[in-house]
Amino acid sequence: MRVDVVTIFPEYLAPLGLSLAGRARDAGLLDVHVHDLRSWTHDRHRTVDDTPYGGGAGMVMKPEPWGEALDAVLPDGATLVVPSPSGEPLRQALARELAGREHLVLACGRYEGIDQRVVEDAATRAEVREVSVGDYVLNGGEAAALVIVEAVARLLPGFMGNPDSLLEESHEDGLLEYPVYTRPATWRGREVPPVLLSGDHGAIAAWRHEQAVRRTAERRPDLAHPARAVTSGDLEGHL
Ligand SMILES: Nc1ccccc1-c1cnco1
């Protein structure tokens, strides 16, 4: 997969060169290119924003630099991902969908956003997905871009050392993850649940599923379990 990121803060995306994403790059699974939007400005002040039509506070990112930038880095048929507080929520299903694309271009907006005509123009020749990473306000799309790239890149075949580890992760099966433990067996007077030391793999799997169901019902009743909605009945006598 090739990923291009356009931003006015290219240094913000430096972590993409480290750790997981860095390893993926070295393995040739991920080819990341970061571009400074101001490369496509032509005035002395390298202007990227202006006041909003219709008035209101803040500034809007001008269409011209974005249009030229996307003409340069967004090939026809690629997927433009625009981090946005008004985008579709990033969930594991969307991460999986984006992991199937050959080429992602991320447009990181700042200020009050990017002139809407930029998205409309790109949509005439590319898939455009406005994506939210959560219901809270950020100063710009860069932090969201890091989240999106990591969530997508780790799903690329060959990216994770042990692909089986992807199967049991939170949200992969619609449930939150069960609690995990490691040595020592007793720590500050707290014991590891005995079932985990029993060697009874069936009992361990059952305990882990029950813990995942319990956590999901307690913390995220909004998550619909693929098999069935998690209900209080699942926890009858457990809570
Ligand atoms: N708040 C923001 C401001 C600018 C670009 C993206 C966001 C965003 C993305 N997901 C949540 O917020």
Average pLDDT over the chain, rounded to whole?
91
pLDDT higher at 150 or 166: 150
The answer to whether residues 148 and 90 touch, using CB atoms and an 8 Å cutoff, is: yes
φ/ψ of residue 154, rounded to 5: -70, -10
Domain boundaries, the chain: 2-153, 168-232
Atom nearest to 140 CA in ligand 1? 4
Return the pLDDT at 238.
Answer: 45
Pocket of ligand 1 (CB under 6 A): 83-85, 109, 132-134, 137-138, 140-141, 144
Beta strands in the chain (DSSP E): 2-7, 31-36, 49-50, 60-61, 79-89, 103-107, 127-132, 186-187, 190-191
pLDDT category, 142, cuts 50, 70, 90?
very high
Residue 225 has pLDDT above 70, yes or no: no
**Considering only CA atoms, which residue is closest to atom 2 of ligand 1?**
138
| CA 27 – ligand 1 centroid, Å | 30
Average the pLDDT over 10-14 and give the result.
95
Q: Which of 138, 146, 147, 149 to mutate to test the pocket of ligand 1 (most atoms within 8 A of CB)?
A: 138
| CA 227 – ligand 1 centroid, Å | 32
Range with lowest mean pLDDT among 50-54, 93-97, 99-103, 222-226: 222-226
For 199, the token pair is: 């060697």
The answer to whether residues 24 and 159 touch, using CB atoms and an 8 Å cutoff, is: yes
CATH code of the region 2-153: 3.40.1280.10
Return the pLDDT at 239.
Answer: 37
Return the pLDDT at 16.
Answer: 87
pLDDT category, 226, cuts 50, 70, 90?
very low
User: What is the pTM (predicted TM-score) of this model?
Assistant: 0.89
The CATH classification of domain 168-232, taken from the options 3.90.180.10, 1.10.1270.20, 1.10.540.10, 3.40.190.10? 1.10.1270.20
Return the pLDDT at 32.
Answer: 92
**Quick check: ipTM above 0.90?**
yes
User: Exposure string (b/e) for 138-177, b if CB count within 10 Å is 16 or more?
Assistant: eebbbebbbebbbbbbbbeeebbeeeeeeeeebbebbbbb
Residue 30 has pLDDT above 70, yes or no: yes
pLDDT category, 171, cuts 50, 70, 90?
confident
pLDDT category, 234, cuts 50, 70, 90?
low
